[in-house]
Amino acid sequence: MKSFANFSELLERLNPAADTLGKLDDSLLKWLQQKRDTGRLISQHISVPKNLPGGCYAVIDFGGTNIRTAVIELQTAGKSRIIAAHTEPLRCAIYDMTKENVTGEELFEFVARQLQKTLEEARAAEALLAEKLPLGHVFSFPCLQKDINSAQLLKWTKEIRTRGVEGQDVQVLLRNALLKADLELIEPAAILNDTTAVLLASQYRYGCTALAGIIGTGHNFGGFLENMVYTEADSAGKFTAHNFESGDFTDIPENLITNLDTMLDAASAAPGEQLLEKMVGGAYLGEIGRLAFVAAGEEFPELRKLAFIEQPYSLKTPELSMVSDCCHDVAQTGLWLKRHGIDDPSAQACKCASTIADAIFKRAARITAAEISAFLASGFIIKYESRPSYVALEGSLYLKTEYFRKCLFRSLSTEFGIENPCERIVSMPDAVLLGAAVAAGIGGLTQEKTHI
């Protein structure tokens, strides 16, 4: 890690040279190879079978910021229909389910209540939902998983601290909460990571999928691997879904790390861990931005008046994303600064704000491009004869920040030589819910627990 002497040096560090990014690409490729060779790649051992049953499924998406619940119907030919869906934040002004004083039981009772609301809505819409509903549970944290329907939380990430969940089987916590909420008709059939859910959803809807990336609160990739190392039969035979946990990649080239990253990491819940996620995840980009404004304030005192400057995590990622999306519109940036406490922002202050937002989102997008390039290049990722494979992407940071998408596509084609990125990348806003339903369908097919 190098420190910087002034704002322009900070910006230089936030805009890494192509060869620094190339080094990241190389290390990521080696890392994945090693992880696979040493049996540390987390396999969820599922790919979409041909005989997947249609019908209705209940689903939960527990990603880190919101709890999404839905009832989904899987139809034929990759089609699906959402019958009812609900989103509730995990933390808001009234409650915070992510704090240490909240217990695992309370957290999952909260989840069960959200599902209850969705079911009521679904039942009002469709009379037929009185029978049992298999449930697909997407739980997007590092877990130890031995079968499709249980997962032990290894550690919380994304700054969640709820007590009594680490080390537990989250499906047991969920099942108990469902019983307590009189939801006996809901039958948990599968638990999986969001990367796997997006892989399954993309394979179900489009076929020919190789990689899936989550670019939301957290950051992670997963992929379908040729089924070469595992000898146990899997339901579909040919390939298996793997969760790479790439957000936890820590071998980041020195030149890519700024002292903003180091400060953020030192003050985080788990210093030294999830280092890649801390440079790309929506949980962190706003805070990197705030720290950049603090640094810039040393040189441009006007910026010290910003209302969010003192309070960690008070500059939210969507706010910074808005600035990055209008980074060439000085008037808009001026209005944004005004809203945050600078009455009459100077042209210099506007320039600073847009340059900070631009640099942080562009860096995150280029890091993501390096990952896609590295993972596609690994010899064991699935390839299709008929066409180049799809990379399915999900997560609000990617879906809602136009500037991030633009930088990602540009970096993929100009820095990593990936042709037609617009055709290879598929955006899948509803993929986690759909993938959860597909997994529940697979879980139902494998009545006896599937070995992973």
Instruction: Pick from 80, 162, 209, 217 the residue near ligand ADP by CB under 6 A.
Output: 217
Name the minimum Å distance from CB 243 to ligand ADP.
Answer: 15
Under the binding rule (CB under 5 A), the answer on residue 188 touching Mg ion is: no
Tally helices (H) and strands (E) across the chain: 15, 13
Specify the residue, 63 or 345, whose C-beta has the smaller distance to Mg ion.
63
Contact 443, 72 (CB under 8 A): no
Say whether residue 397 binds ligand ADP (CB under 6 A): yes
Distance CA 439, CA 433 (A): 10
Q: What angle do CA 423, 31, 211 make, to 5 degrees?
A: 25
Q: Using the rule CB under 6 A, which residue among 264, 275, 283, 431 binds ligand ADP?
A: 283
Residue 361 burial (CB < 10 Å; 0-12/13-18/19+)? buried
Piece in contact with ligand ADP (CB under 6 A), picked from 2-10, 173-181, 397-405, 419-427: 397-405
Q: What is the DSSP letter of 294?
A: H
CB of 350 to ligand ADP, least distance (A): 20
Stretch in the footprint of ligand ADP (CB under 6 A) among 59-67, 111-119, 261-269, 370-378: 59-67
Give the one residue of 63, 142, 213, 441 binding ligand ADP; rule: CB under 6 A.
63
Q: Which spans in 253-385 are helix H?
A: 259-266, 277-280, 282-299, 317-325, 330-339, 347-377
Of the ranges 33-41, 63-71, 101-109, 180-188, which one interacts with ligand ADP (CB under 6 A)?
A: 63-71
Residue 247 interacts with ligand ADP (CB under 6 A): yes or no: no
Residue closer to ligand ADP (CB basis): 65 or 80: 65
Q: What is the largest CA-CA distance in the chain?
A: 67
Site string for Mg ion, 53-82 (x = CB under 5 A): ----------x-------------------
Neighbours of 73 (CB within 10 A): 16
Q: Is 268 helix (H, G, I), strand (E, B) or coil?
A: coil
Residue 80 to residue 58: CA distance in whole angstroms: 13
Nearer to Mg ion, 382 or 439 (CB): 439
Q: How far is the CB of 68 from ligand ADP (least distance, A)?
A: 8
Residue 65 lies near ligand ADP (rule: CB under 6 A):
yes
Establish if 247 lies at the interface with Mg ion (CB under 5 A).
Answer: no
Helix (H) / strand (E) containing 295: helix 282-299
Q: Which is nearer to ligand ADP, 141 or 380 (CB)?
A: 141
Residue from 20, 44, 66, 98 touching ligand ADP (CB under 6 A): that is 66
Contacts for 419-426: CB closer than 8 Å, 24+ residues apart:
419/388, 420/388, 423/388, 424/388, 424/389, 424/390, 424/391, 425/390, 425/391, 425/392, 425/393, 426/202, 426/206, 426/390, 426/391, 426/392, 426/393
Q: What is the dihedral of CA 158, 197, 143, 56, to 10 degrees?
A: 110
Please, which residue, 14 or 393, has the CB nearer to ligand ADP?
393
Q: Does the protein bind ligand ADP through residue 195 (CB under 6 A)?
A: no
Residue 142 lies near ligand ADP (rule: CB under 6 A):
no
Which neighbouring-strand residues pair with 139? 62
Piece of the chain touching ligand ADP by CB under 6 A; list 173-181, 223-231, 315-323, 381-389: 315-323
Residues in contact with ligand ADP by CB under 6 A are 63-66, 216-218, 282-283, 317-318, 321, 395-397, 400-401
Residues in contact with Mg ion by CB under 5 A are 63, 216
